[in-house]
Amino acid sequence: MPQSPITITAAEVIDLRVPTSDQMLGSDPFHKAPDYSSAVLHLETNTGLRGVSVVFTIGAGTDWMCHGIRDLCQLVIGTTLDEFTDSPFQLYRRLIDHHQLRWLHDGVFRMAAGAVLNAIWDLWAKSLNQPLWKLLVDLEPEFVADCIDWRNLGDALTREEAINLLQARRAKVSEREAAMAERGPKAYCTAGWLGLSDEEILITIRKLQAEGFDAFKLKVGQDSEADVQRIRFMRDAIGSDAQLMVDANQFWGLTEAKQHVEQYRPFNLKWVEEPIARDEVLGYVELAETFADASFDFACGEQAASPVIFKQLLKSGAIKYCQIDAVRVAGVNDVMAIILMAAKYDVPVCPHGGGIALCNMIQHYGMWDQIAVAGHSNTQLVEYIDFLQDAVERPVDVRDGCYVTPSAPGWGLEFRSEFIAQHSYPEGDVWKNRPADKKGVTFEAR
Amino acid sequence: MPQSPITITAAEVIDLRVPTSDQMLGSDPFHKAPDYSSAVLHLETNTGLRGVSVVFTIGAGTDWMCHGIRDLCQLVIGTTLDEFTDSPFQLYRRLIDHHQLRWLHDGVFRMAAGAVLNAIWDLWAKSLNQPLWKLLVDLEPEFVADCIDWRNLGDALTREEAINLLQARRAKVSEREAAMAERGPKAYCTAGWLGLSDEEILITIRKLQAEGFDAFKLKVGQDSEADVQRIRFMRDAIGSDAQLMVDANQFWGLTEAKQHVEQYRPFNLKWVEEPIARDEVLGYVELAETFADASFDFACGEQAASPVIFKQLLKSGAIKYCQIDAVRVAGVNDVMAIILMAAKYDVPVCPHGGGIALCNMIQHYGMWDQIAVAGHSNTQLVEYIDFLQDAVERPVDVRDGCYVTPSAPGWGLEFRSEFIAQHSYPEGDVWKNRPADKKGVTFEAR
């Protein structure tokens, strides 16, 4: 008797918020007091399997994402997993090129589309009882190419180039897979959040060093003197051999960025992240030229809203570290395109982590890239955040400064039901008795 | 006795949709069957004055906009008009740089912020019993500069340059104002919607010519041969002296765009609009170089998501026509910045119209630009759409191919209450009995 196909029967979208602003974790010059949050999507099926994804947010606005995701889910309820796996591009295109919703642009709309796609990719991997990276590694090069929207990318990377690139890595995939089963992607961590004192930063560094980390990031964007002082403090604390990166979270205009970054030359930094606005392609081109002789290069991507923005940054040579995010663009389909473009231009993929369970997702991209696309682990760093690990049943793990290769099926993103009950907004325990000025949309950073 | 200040007491947000897809009006290669729609914002006050704005959408997704606008309105209810007029930038920055909502990026979030700002600008103009353009024209140059977020713009235009530019126009403002009272901004119209037959297009052209139009636009993006045939048809129909523009609505990738546009050289086109993606700055730079010797230049902006995207397109010389939209970016504050940058780079501001009542808004920007910023009307064309005029109490009007200078207070955007009752979604008369496959989120163009 043939099994009935896996069919999506319902969607649950949860507004999940954690009052991280109380500890000032995650703070930077723009996002002064984030409450790390997620729009969590559960796609239920007739089989008990559940597709899970998240869109990371930082408090207010999570409900905007939930609204959009709920709307899009109407389009997949009743469809089967087979329809998706026959051609993941078909659903991608129907969402992203939706003839009316497309008007909403990137941002909320593209992220909501990504949530739906990512949850179905999760379902697919779970139906195979495989972690997502393994599903991706095993896909035929032609199939990967067929998942991608080439409309706006062909001047940087053609479908044929992508297939050839993946094909060229095939001979060593088994070897790379075995190597990475021993030692996952190399990780780095932000020790210097903007809201933390030097003493707090030092404690964090020592803790991370004890876990094997030797690559650290520091937030900048205060006054120039204070920033330089903090960089010097960090460099002294970690020693001259450790890797040090700084992150301005888009706080400066181009002119100002040049002035600030000029002061950073003496500290042997690896990268300067988001010195300018997320969509300022020509500014990145100019920065790369201005600082061509510096020790550092430029990095960005966590808020790059589309593969087209990534294409320009990569093709022009403006960025030398490609910081994909797992939930900013439209899911696996978009991210595969970006990772392939990065490989063509020989730019290391250094995914953006943080938030709630984002690291659970990005580790799969690090695996896929380092096994099957770049095909090496020589230059990449995958971000790692050591808090909010209690949100999920299978927290990410690091050993000797590297991710422990994920083995849970799918993204490995199952939330603990108690965590959801406590943090659901606004009815969860941590929110329902919180004063009004510390929740919802208010003007002041809290 | 001092008057009590004008205070915002409530916000009403209306999901307004018109089933324009039945007539295929507004159709283009991406947006195959738009239902012209608007999220309409009414900010009520204690005085009877009401601030009105719209965010234009094309059917599905209007509810996403309404959700966001409602959320933001919580931040202005209870505030006074005086607080806003003391420093419009303060509210702008509190919205756009909101430390949590900022994460939602441009698109829905920036448009929602624009809706709130635009409604309060409307309220301000109404409190002075002036049309919005007149309020803008009368602002002191320093005040205009203080409305603008210079963070990411200074490398293209500084605050001081903006003030000097406005100051230099001051001597002739009265003269320009008098001239434009006689004859508003020159208008152009799309006659060749993609879904229309040659016969239908010809009827439209003759009607528009009878109204004094001599500048027409045609949608392209079908197969190259059909497009060229339609361009030839249009050119023959309007004669060699009339201005002809084509619009691909982002349908092509860069490589494909070059191939298509190459075929357009013989037809003495004025501009080629949106040949490529809305965020592909470097692609526009390359197109401008490739076709430097052609009759036409490139135009875009209706979906440019931020002033930073405009800045790059203007500073690089990639576009020669700046198509601001009234509701894509964050309201008057953002649009003033873009119009000032366009003036510095001597790029004519040719606003994007269409939709429901968008033309009611853009005419004010045309007026401000042509009186006080560019200070002339030699090169600009303001888009005009001749349908859905029954939505508002004071439809826009054209005479001899030019806008009739608007005189209604504010944007002049009061909707007819019967129109709202009929078209409110989903409970209005035109929607409540409509079959499910012709409303809401469905996959197929209808």
In this complex, do B279 and A255 lie within 8 Å of one another by their Cβ atoms?
no
Which range of residues forms the domain containing residue A21? Answer: 8-130+417-432
Q: What is the Cα–Cα distance from A268 to A241, expressed in whole angstroms?
A: 10
Pull the structure tokens for residue B382. 């303001």
> Quick one: A203 and A286 in the same domain?
yes
Residue A137 lies in a domain: no
Residue B67's φ and ψ, nearest 5 degrees, are -60, -50
Whole-number pLDDT of residue A376: 98
Q: What is the Cα–Cα distance from A440 to B267, expressed in whole angstroms?
A: 56
In this complex, do A108 and B68 lie within 8 Å of one another by their Cβ atoms?
yes
Residue A289 banded pLDDT, cuts 50, 70, 90: very high
Whole-number pLDDT of residue A23: 75
> Quick one: B119 and B171 in the same domain?
no
Whole-number pLDDT of residue B2: 59
Pull the structure tokens for residue B428. 């209005």
> Quick one: A55 and A177 in the same domain?
no
Q: What is the Cα–Cα distance from A83 to B274, expressed in whole angstroms?
A: 33
Mean pLDDT value of segment A95-115: 96
Whole-number pLDDT of residue B364: 98
Contacts of B342 (CB under 8 A, 6+ apart): B310, B314, B322, B324, B348, B349, B369, B374
Residue A151 lies in a domain: no
Whole-number pLDDT of residue B24: 67
Give the residue among B321, B315, B254 at the shortest CA–CA distance from B290: B254
Best mutation site among B152, B319, B352, B358 for testing chain A: the one with the most A CBs within 10 Å? Answer: B152
Mean pLDDT value of segment A145-171: 98
> Quick one: A199 and A285 in the same domain?
yes
Mean pLDDT value of segment A221-231: 92
> Quick one: A235 and A334 in the same domain?
yes
Interface of B with A in 235-254 (CB under 8 A): 252-254
**Residue B289: exposure state from Cβ atoms within 10 A (0-12, 13-18, ≥19):** exposed
Residue A221 lies in a domain: yes
Query: Is the interface score ipTM higher than 0.90?
Result: yes
Best mutation site among A100, A159, A250, A285 for testing chain B: the one with the most B CBs within 10 Å? Answer: A100
Core vs surface per residue B186-206: b (16+ CB within 10 A) or e? bbbbbbbbbbbeeeebbebbe
Q: Give A234-294 as a DSSP string.
A: HHHHH-SSSEEEEE-TT-S-HHHHHHHHHTTGGG--SEEE--S-TT-HHHHHHHHHHTTTS
Whole-number pLDDT of residue A444: 64
Contacts of B150 (CB under 8 A, 6+ apart): A253, B158, B159
Residue B150 lies in a domain: no
> Quick one: B312 and B335 in the same domain?
yes
Establish if B199 touches chain A: CB-CB under 8 angstroms: no
Q: Identity (one letter) of the amino acid at A125?
A: A
Minimum-distance CB partner of B441 among A30, A75, A443: A75
Q: Where are the alpha helices (DSSP H) in A131-246?
A: 132-138, 141-146, 159-169, 173-182, 198-210, 224-238
> Quick one: A427 and A384 in the same domain?
no
Active site residues of B: 219, 352
What is the CA angle A279-A285-A286, rounded to 5? 110
Whole-number pLDDT of residue A397: 93
> Quick one: A78 and A179 in the same domain?
no
Whole-number pLDDT of residue B211: 93
Question: In CATH, what number is assigned to the domain containing residue B77?
Answer: 3.30.390.10
Q: Identity (one letter) of the amino acid at A297?
A: D
> Quick one: A86 and A171 in the same domain?
no
**Residue A197: exposure state from Cβ atoms within 10 A (0-12, 13-18, ≥19):** exposed
Question: In CATH, what number is assigned to the domain containing residue A291?
Answer: 3.20.20.120
Pull the structure tokens for residue B230. 């339609």
Number of domains in chain B: 2
> Quick one: A277 and A362 in the same domain?
yes
Residue A372 lies in a domain: yes
Residue B293 lies in a domain: yes
Contacts of B409 (CB under 8 A, 6+ apart): B125, B126, B128, B129, B130, B131
Residue A242 lies in a domain: yes
> Quick one: A189 and A338 in the same domain?
yes
What stretches in chain B show pLDDT beneath 70?
Answer: 1-2, 24-26, 443-446
Q: What is the Cα–Cα distance from A37 to A419, expressed in whole angstroms?
A: 12
> Quick one: A102 and A243 in the same domain?
no
Residue A1 lies in a domain: no
